[in-house]
Structure formats: C-alpha cells, structure tokens
Structure 1
Amino acid sequence: MAPTRRPSDGLLARVNFPLYAVDMLTSRHILVAGGGGSSKTGVANGFEIYELYHNGSHFCAEEVLRHETGANVVMNFAVRNSDRRSYLCAGQEAHCQMYFVQPRIEAEDDRKPAPVERPHENGVRQRAAGHSGVEALPNGHNRHAGGNSNSSSSKPTTTADILKQFQRLRFDIQAADVVQTDFLSSAEPLQRVVRISGNGRLMATGGTDGQLRVWSFPQMKLSAELAAHTKEIDDVDFSPDCKYVVSISKDAQGIVWDLSTGKQHHKLQWQTPEGSKYLFKRCRYGTVEAHKDNYRLFTITNPLGKVGKQRGYLQQWDCASGQLRTAVPIDESLSSLAVRDDGRFVAIGTMFSGSVSMYIAFSLQRVLHIPHAHSMFVTGLQFLPITNEEGPPISSDTEAAVLSISVDNKVCIHSLPQRRTIPAWLAIVFMIVMIFVVFVFCSYIGI
C-alpha cells in the first residue's frame, strides 16, 4: 500500500485568487499563476513567486513577489531560463504574452518593508508583510520548531536564520512581446496551453481553434501551423530530444508530430474498456535515466460523459511505435499530470476528490497517495527539480516532492520519504551469520 501524507506535508501558502498553473522559476523558487478573470468580482489576476526551503523537518515557503496582470487571467504559462534572465510566456485569452524575469541579489533596501501599492496592468507589487493577501504558512508549524532561537546551537531555527545561509534573490518582471496564438472565429478564441522545447529554440501553443502552432523562440515567429485537431487542444509537450511534439484534444485524438517534416508520426491508439469513449486530458514526456534520447510518454485519460463505474487511466506509451505499454486505472477522473526531470517519478491529480498520487515511472507502481489534498480539483502539479541546471536543488530528507495547486487558492507540497535500505554493516553481519550457519549445518550432516 502506498504511504499517506506525512504530518510535515500539506499547505505551503494560500493566495487570494484561484490557481491554474505552476512551475519552478529556479531550483528553489516557485511560480504560480491564475486569477478571477475579467469580471468585476475584486479577485485579482496574476503571478506569485515564492522562495522554497527545507528547515530540517519540513518544507516552508516565503513570498518574494506578486505581479498582477489587470483584467487578464493567466490560465497557462511556460518558463525558459537563460544565462542572465528567464523568459515567461503566459496565456492571456487568445494571446501569449512574454515577460522578462530578471533575477538580482537582494540589496539592503529590499529588506525594508515596502509600501503597499495599487495594482495596475503589467505592474509589479512588492508587498509588505501584513498587507499581502497571502498567508505566511510554514506548513502549519511554528517557525521556531527547530529549537529555541536564543539557543547557542549553530543549527538555524528561524526563517531568517535559514534564509541567511544563501544569497536571497529578488525578481524584476517586464512585459515584452505579445502574439495572438488562437483564432477561433465561431466563438471566443482562447490559448489553452503553451510549452517551450528543452533546447529553448521552439515554442508550441494550442487552443480552441484546434491548430497546433510552432514558434521560433524567443523571437516568437510562427514557423509551422498544423491543422492538428477538429476540436480544442487540451495539452501539448515536446519530446526530450526536441524531435517531436505531442498534442491531445477534445476530439479524443492524441497525435505525435515530427517537427522536421510537420507531419504525423503516429497516433496514440488503445482498446478502451467496453468500447467506451475516452478523452485524453494531459500528456508529458519523461526521460529514462536522465537521457534525452531515451524517453517515455505519459498521458491521463478520462471517460466521456456519465459512464457509471468506469475509471480514468494513467498510461505509459512506447515512443517508437505509439503502442500503449501499460496503464493503471484510477477510481475517478483525472485533472493534472507531472513527470520529474530525471524521469523517475510521475504524479497525478484528481478531478473530484482533489487527491494527489505519486508513481514510479517505469512500473506505474503507486508509492504515495494523498487523499483530499485540495477541496476542489487539482489544476497543476510540479516536481521539485533534482538537476543542477538552475542552481543546487533543495536539500531535504525526502526521495521526491511534488507541488500541487487548485482553484481552492492553495499551494501544497507532498513528499515521498526515503525508502530505507539495509545498512551496509548490517548486510555484512547478516552474511557472516549465514556463512557460519551454513558451515555448522554442513559439518552436522558430514559434508
């Protein structure tokens, strides 16, 4: 049975708007986005950036920056890091808005309380404590839970002590180019998804018009427009070797495209239970042993309409043939999917119970289950990175950790404890004992 949530897991932060997208901006900075839309409800639209750390017993998050986007809700985004800055491409209605995210080392003036500012379009609001709209929630634990702050122990015990151990980063966000990415004429156009290739040279977008558009990046010049689907596109992803892009749609099709030719490479086809109709919901590639030329494709799929006891599926596909390799049933419809950067773990979020589960990628064996992680459906998942590309990963006592967000305004974290192995000294002792037992037994029977 998969272990359930440890007491130190759970709520990291609560914002004052529904959340739809999450990603890691750096190896220790979380970027979340969402909003209440253009209606005059008083619910904001925009981004939040948090600094994440582990204090020795649990994960904690501290707000770094809030960026509001006026009347434009952010439903999806993609991040690409370069040497000097990050590119943030955000879906805002029928357009993709690029932002430059410039990191800088915290200056002395940054530590002073900032005045509260009125939100404005494309403006950044660096808010003072007590005025944030975001609860400071170190996972429900006392910030001094590591010991007394007056203790002579050298172990950091407070948020300030821990964060002093490394240079603090601040971020400046500047709006840059914007392009229209969806052109549905019969109804309101909307960009549903945006992804950037692993080599940083291409960007793919999909939306309500069913067209898969591939753009040069970061120039954002249209390089290919594929009549991929007859209905809106729900998700796309680039293969780790950047040779293919997969798209899934509400027309029940999952198609892998060859980027060199712009033609279909293969379709994702499988025998559905009892011949019922299923729709792909999300798709993600994952590497095998962190090797970009050896990878798997994962999808989640849900039954269409009211179909009684039929269940959703987490699926793994053979990338050469397009054949389904293995699938595991889940007792409800699924809403979100993530694969860790080394390809070892997969996580899913559910539609009705707001639960989160983690699986071993190659076998799809469930190793962690967090029932009712959110009060509503899980809109996004993101594993904490373990690679070193954007700085050292966060040190913790966990084997894997995944962030989850929802329209319930919560940012949560769920971690898999280290699966213990037998210590080397104990294995040696066991071998010596077994050799002795075998020797005694052989002597007894006269061998």
Structure 2
Amino acid sequence: MGKKKVLDLYRAPFPLYTVKVDATTGLVITAGGGGPSKTGIKNAVHFLDVQMVGKNQYSSSLLHSHDTDTRATINMAVGDGVIAAGQDGTCSLMRFKLCLQKEENSTHRDGNALELSNARRRSGKAGKGNLENRSTTGDVSDTRNETVQITVTNIAEVLSDLNPHDPLQKVVRFSPDMNLLLTGGTDGYIRVWEFPSLEKKFDFKAHEKEIDDLDMSTISKQLVTVGRDFVCNVWSDNQLVTSLNWLETMPQIAEKTYRYMACRFGNGEDEKDAIRLYTVQIPHKRDKKPPPCYITKWDGKILLPMLTSPCGTEVISCLAVSDSGRFLGLGTVNGSVAVHIAFSLQKLYYVHESHGIVVTDVVFLPNLMKGQNIKGNNKAALLSVAVDSRCQVHTVTKERPIPPWLFFCGLIIVGMLLILQYLFPVLI
C-alpha cells in the first residue's frame, strides 16, 4: 500500500482546483486556471465524459470547455443543471445543458461534436451505451451520428465575500433540496440566498477568521461551518445552536494545537435513517516531527462525537464522503490520496504523493450515473484533482472470494495435521 502508480484520467492545460460529478447527465465537471496573471494560462470549466473501458479502468473525453475570462474557478457546487462557481469574491452561476444531435453526414461536424467523435474512434468505444452511436451499415456519407453538444449560459452573479483587502470565496454549497445557495469566504461571513430567485436570506458573521468549509444536513437542515478560529459551529438558520468539541474524544490533546479543516455530512453506513457528520482536524503549527491529523465521526442528529482516529501525518487538504456513506476520501498537501472506511475510520487505500503537489479536491463517483453503474465491480471510485493539472481516478476493488477448492484443501491439510498430532504427539 502506498507504492501504487495511478494513471491520469485527464490532464488540463491549467491548474485544477475543483471537481464535481453531475449524476443526472453523467458529466464530470472540473475547473481552475491561472487567474488574472498575464502568463497565458487560461481559466475555464471543463466538461468530461468518463467511461469504464476495462475491468477497473476508466477513460475520459473532453466534451466542452467554457472560458471564464480572467477569473479562475476555485470552488464549485453542481445541481439541477446549474454550476455555482467561486471566482475571487463572487459566486457566478452558470446553467449547462447537454443534448444529443443526430447528423446524417459524419463529415459535417463542428467543435465538441467532432472532438467527441474522434475521441470515441481512437478509443474504439463507439457502440451501445456510449454518448456517440454509429451505424455499422451503409456508406459513410449516409451514416447517422449522435453527437454531444453542451451549452453553458451565465445566468447570475452574487457578491459572496466582502473582504476589503483580498476577497475570496472559500466554499459554496447548494442545500440538499436545492432551495438555498450557501457561501463562505475570507471575511468570516456566511451568506445564504434563496434559489433560484437569489434573494438574500441570511448574511451573518459565523467566524472571527476566514471560513474553510460548510455543509448542511439532509435531515435536520442544520448548517455546520468550519473556520480558522479553531471553531466548528452548528447553526439553525442564522442562530448559533452549539459549537462542536472534538477534544472530548482526545482529552490528552491541548486546546488550540489543532484546528478544524473540513466537515461533511453523510449517510449512516448501513443504518437506515442514520446521519453522520465527519470533521477533519489538522495541526495548527507544523513541527519538525509532524503530529498526526485526525478524523472525527459524529452522530449527525444529536451532534455528539462517536469516534476519533488518526489519519497520518500529512496535512489533509480536502474531504469527501461517498453517497452510500461507507467511504471517506482524503487529499493531502503533499499530493497523496486515501480512502477510509467510514464505520471504523480505518485506512483502506493510500497512494503516497500520487499528484506530487497539493490535492485541491476529491469526489466519489456516485453509485449511478445516468442510471448506469459506472463503478463496475469496484467498491468505490474516487476522483482527485490537483494544482499539477491532473485528474486521477482511484478505485477500491472488491476482495476476491476464496475458491472452493482452496477452502477444501485447507480443511484437508488441517485435518491431516490433527491426525498426525494424535498419532505421533512427540514428533509434533
């Protein structure tokens, strides 16, 4: 474990900061850029078609690139065909639409349609179940083709951070019911808009320092926020309910030696109607001998800590929870990627410096994409992106069952040893 070489799923022409999956359309959406600098590095949102091409292998095709001018997208939320993109101190909302168009002449194509068609031919994946289907009979000029076109429309923009010095939106989320848009930034404020009207509902100071993360429960609609002021707060609307204290599970650790870095709600593994909250704590200061980071699992209804476990000495940079609630995905500032079992917080998968530079976002492939199982026989598939412009896929494979013949051979060997021990107790 830790020696595995992970192949790149996709490489962008700019640093990648965020990745999300739209299960309805089956699109993987990633974004980033070089910002306002005049280095020639563009800023864009890329739409990828990801397919399973082997037993545990994936390939991707770039379907569309949406230019974001001089602003790089640092964080992103996706839902109902809308992207909420954090760009500097604003949240830009874009509507995207995927459509299939039939063409009678395969030689008359443009843009993304041609790009996808060529990609499909190179990978030899044209056929049933793919986005492009070609007829296997008739002349080329009479061939009917289904080509993909993605349209992206800028629909709105809201100010999400009012820091007078260097405004920056740090995190954005849609509420589970898609009725709210929530943002947090360097000014320590949480701003909540009704969606899709974008009428501001709340604007309140949640932390004394910048906000690193936030998430909303699917059951109680409580909001959890993480700030750099060592605090993880729970809110009902704009009213403070409580502040979490992970040190209840680790009383030997001194206060303010760790700070919260991330928070995520998830389903309660195999427990029906259960909800869990996961938080990551990282050292406030770096030492020559780095101390471990920690994951804490909370009861998501009563918000009491259930379990805390160390997760390595590399500083965690991002956190994700699978939609089944069974797995946690972690990225580190060193470029490493890990998957932990949510129930026990035990490390299940780890690749040391898979990216070689800070991992900026991780996300699990959902159980179903466009109604199809894209995980194959894998327990989980985690996407990671980093400043090195690479998008990788990390798969956790299912254990192979013990063959019956091997099981019976084992029984025979054990039986023979017991017989020998009974007949010749001195020799054994």
TM normalised by structure 2 equals 0.83
Letter in 1 for 2:42: A
Aligned to 2:74: 75
Aligned to 1:42: 40
User: Are 1:371 and 2:374 counterparts?
Assistant: no
Aligned to 1:147: none
Aligned to 1:234: 212
Aligned to 1:173: 152
Give, in whole Å, the separation in 2 of the partners of 1:110 and 1:165. Answer: 21
For residue 299 of structure 1, report the CA deviation from its aligned partner: 1.8
The question of whether the paired residues in 2 share the 8 Å contact of 1:45 and 1:72 is answered with yes
Task: Within 5 Å, give how 1:339-418 maps onto structure 2.
Answer: 339-352=321-334, 354-387=335-368, 390-418=370-398
Aligned to 2:18: 21
The 3-state SS of whatever aligns with 1:273 is coil
For residue 176 of structure 1, report the CA deviation from its aligned partner: 0.1
Aligned to 1:52: 50
Task: Within 5 Å, give how 1:249-264 maps onto structure 2.
Answer: 249-259=227-237, 262-264=239-241
Give, in whole Å, the separation in 2 of the partners of 1:265 and 1:297. Answer: 14
Letter in 2 for 1:100: R
Give, in whole Å, the separation in 2 of the partners of 1:415 and 1:95. Answer: 35
Return the match for 1:419 from 391, 396, 399. 399
Return the match for 2:187 from 181, 202, 209. 209
The question of whether the paired residues in 1 share the 8 Å contact of 2:33 and 2:72 is answered with yes
Aligned to 2:261: 281
Give, in whole Å, the separation in 2 of the partners of 1:381 and 1:78. Answer: 13
Question: Are residues 110 and 199 of structure 1, via their aligned partners in 2, closer, same or farther at CA, if it must alter by over 3 Å?
Answer: farther
User: Are 1:220 and 2:174 counterparts?
Assistant: no
Q: What do residues 365-385 of structure 1 show as CA deviations (whole Å, max 9, x unaligned)? A: 111111111021100101111
Aligned to 1:183: 162
User: Are 1:333 and 2:315 counterparts?
Assistant: yes
Give, in whole Å, the separation in 1 of the partners of 2:196 and 2:271. Answer: 25
The question of whether the paired residues in 2 share the 8 Å contact of 1:287 and 1:296 is answered with yes
Give, in whole Å, the separation in 1 of the partners of 2:336 and 2:355. Answer: 7
Letter in 2 for 1:301: Q
Question: Are residues 113 and 333 of structure 1, via their aligned partners in 2, closer, same or farther at CA, if it must alter by over 3 Å?
Answer: farther
The 3-state SS of whatever aligns with 1:330 is coil
The question of whether the paired residues in 2 share the 8 Å contact of 1:113 and 1:129 is answered with no
Aligned to 2:31: 33
User: Are 1:322 and 2:304 counterparts?
Assistant: yes
For residue 163 of structure 1, report the CA deviation from its aligned partner: 5.4
Give, in whole Å, the separation in 2 of the partners of 1:95 and 1:39. Answer: 18
The question of whether the paired residues in 2 share the 8 Å contact of 1:226 and 1:262 is answered with no
For residue 314 of structure 1, report the CA deviation from its aligned partner: 2.4
Give, in whole Å, the separation in 2 of the partners of 1:428 and 1:375. Answer: 42
Give, in whole Å, the separation in 2 of the partners of 1:110 and 1:315. Answer: 57
Give, in whole Å, the separation in 2 of the partners of 1:104 and 1:166. Answer: 14
Aligned to 2:145: none
Give, in whole Å, the separation in 1 of the partners of 2:328 and 2:30. Answer: 20
Letter in 1 for 2:91: C
- Listed as ranges, the gaps of 5+ residues in structure 2 are 133-147, 424-428
The 3-state SS of whatever aligns with 1:161 is coil
The 3-state SS of whatever aligns with 2:125 is helix
Question: Are residues 97 and 369 of structure 1, via their aligned partners in 2, closer, same or farther at CA, if it must alter by over 3 Å?
Answer: same
Give, in whole Å, the separation in 1 of the partners of 2:65 and 2:109. Answer: 12
For residue 113 of structure 1, report the CA deviation from its aligned partner: 7.8
Taking only aligned residues, the RMSD between alpha carbons, in angstroms, comes to: 3.3
Q: What do residues 162-206 of structure 1 show as CA deviations (whole Å, max 9, x unaligned)? A: 555334443211110111111123x12221110011111112100
**Percent of aligned pairs with the same residue?**
30
Count of matched residue pairs: 399
The question of whether the paired residues in 2 share the 8 Å contact of 1:283 and 1:298 is answered with yes
User: Are 1:96 and 2:91 counterparts?
Assistant: yes
Give, in whole Å, the separation in 2 of the partners of 1:275 and 1:347. Answer: 27
For residue 430 of structure 1, report the CA deviation from its aligned partner: 9.0
Give, in whole Å, the separation in 2 of the partners of 1:265 and 1:342. Answer: 27
Give, in whole Å, the separation in 1 of the partners of 2:53 and 2:315. Answer: 36
The question of whether the paired residues in 2 share the 8 Å contact of 1:272 and 1:278 is answered with no
Q: What do residues 366-413 of structure 1 show as CA deviations (whole Å, max 9, x unaligned)? A: 11111111021100101111046x422315232211011000000111
Letter in 2 for 1:325: L
For residue 322 of structure 1, report the CA deviation from its aligned partner: 3.4
For residue 292 of structure 1, report the CA deviation from its aligned partner: 8.1
- Listed as ranges, the gaps of 5+ residues in structure 1 are 117-125, 137-142, 144-156
Question: Are residues 269 and 426 of structure 1, via their aligned partners in 2, closer, same or farther at CA, if it must alter by over 3 Å?
Answer: same
Give, in whole Å, the separation in 2 of the partners of 1:109 and 1:65. Answer: 22
Aligned to 2:174: 196
Give, in whole Å, the separation in 2 of the partners of 1:113 and 1:44. Answer: 29
Give, in whole Å, the separation in 2 of the partners of 1:257 and 1:175. Answer: 31
The question of whether the paired residues in 2 share the 8 Å contact of 1:106 and 1:167 is answered with no
The question of whether the paired residues in 2 share the 8 Å contact of 1:258 and 1:265 is answered with no
User: Are 1:161 and 2:125 counterparts?
Assistant: yes
